[in-house]
Amino acid sequence: MWPFHAQSGEVDTRKETLILSSNPVFSRHRRIFQSILKQEAERDEHLVNLGINFKRYRKLTKQDVAELPYKLQERSIQSKIPSLFKAVPEITTSAVAQSRSKIRSSLYINVFERFNQETSKSDLNLFKGYRLAEHDGSEVDAMFYAGNDENYSRSKSGDHHYFKHTNCTYDVLNHTFMDCLFQPGSKKNEDATFLELALKHKGEKIIFTCDRGYEALYTFYMLNKNKIIFVIRVKDQKSAISMLKHYPKPDTEKYDIPYNVILTTQSSDA
C-alpha cells in the first residue's frame, strides 16, 4: 500500500517507487499481484451482465478498467485520464465511469484474498496458539464523479468531502491484512462492520482487539454468543459517555470484575 500524506491524501509515488522497486520482496509481491489481477480480470463471472459487457470492441478493455483503482492517485478521474490512457486521448470521464460500473466488486475481493493466500506464511506467528487481529477504521479520499453523492459526508476532521470509510482487520504478528470492508462516507457504521468481519472467522483461534469507540453492549453480546474472543478498550470511567460510569467499581487503578448485563428489546403500541 502506498503511504498517504495526512493533509492532501496524495502520494509521492516517484520517491516510494525508487525505494520499493529495489526491494526483492516488494518485486516478488508486485509480480504476484499483477498476475492475480490479470487472471481475475479475464474471468467473465466478475461482469455485471455476463455475455454482454466488454464483448464488442472497446477502447477500454477489462484489464484497463480492472487496473484503474490501483493506479488512481488524484481526487479527480478527469485529471488522471491523460497520463493513464495516452494511446486513447479521447477517453472521457463518462466512459470510464460507465466501464467501471460493468465490473463487480467480487473481482477486487478475489484479488485481495488470493494475494493474501499467495503471500502468507504457512507457519504463522501466534500468541499462545491464537492469531492477534487488530480491527480499526480510517477515512480514504474518494474521487468525485456524477452519482457519487453517497461518498460525500462529514469526516472526523469536521469538514465535508468525498471519502470512503475503510474497516480493516490486521494480523499484528504476521503483518498482513486479514480482511477489509469499504463503506460510503455517508453510510459508515464501524460497529456493524466489525461484527460482520469477526463473525466471518467464527470458530477460528483468533483474538480480536479494538480501540475505544467500538465498545457496545450488543457487540459484546454477539461476540460472546458466537464464542469469539475479544479485547476492546473503553472510554475512561470519568468520561461523560463511558459505559463504565453505569456500573459499580472499586476506587483502584486496576481491577478485574465480571458484569452481568441483561439486554432487552423495547416496543410500544402506536
The per-residue pLDDT for range 202-228, each reduced to its tens digit, is 999 999 999 988 888 889 999 999 999
Statement: residue 45 has pLDDT above 50:
yes
| Alpha carbons 191 and 208: distance in angstroms, whole number | 13
**pLDDT (0 to 100) of residue 125:** 92
Residue 75 — pLDDT band, cuts 50, 70, 90? Answer: low
Summarize the confidence of residues 125-137 as an average pLDDT: 95
**Each residue of 181-193: pLDDT tens digit?**
888 888 888 999 9
CATH number for the domain formed by residue range(s) 121-253? 3.30.420
| Percent with pLDDT over 70 in the chain | 75
Which residue's entry shows cell 488512481?
Answer: 72
- Say which residues have a Cβ less than 8 Å from residue 167's Cβ, sequence separation at least 6: 135, 136, 137, 180, 181, 182, 183, 190, 193, 194, 197
Residue 53: CB atoms within 10 A of its CB come to 19
Residue 2 — pLDDT band, cuts 50, 70, 90? Answer: very low
CATH 3.30.420 positions along the chain are: 121-253
**pLDDT (0 to 100) of residue 52:** 63
Higher pLDDT, 1 or 151: 151
| Alpha carbons 108 and 208: distance in angstroms, whole number | 24
**pLDDT (0 to 100) of residue 56:** 61
Statement: residue 244 has pLDDT above 60:
yes
| Alpha carbons 91 and 97: distance in angstroms, whole number | 11
174 close to 132: Cβ distance less than 8 angstroms = no
Q: Where are the alpha helices (DSSP H) in 42-119?
A: 62-71, 77-84, 93-100, 106-119
Determine the Cα angle at 244 with ends 242 and 249, to 5°: 150
Higher pLDDT, 136 or 253: 136
Q: What is the mean pLDDT of the chain?
A: 79
Statement: residue 9 has pLDDT above 60:
no
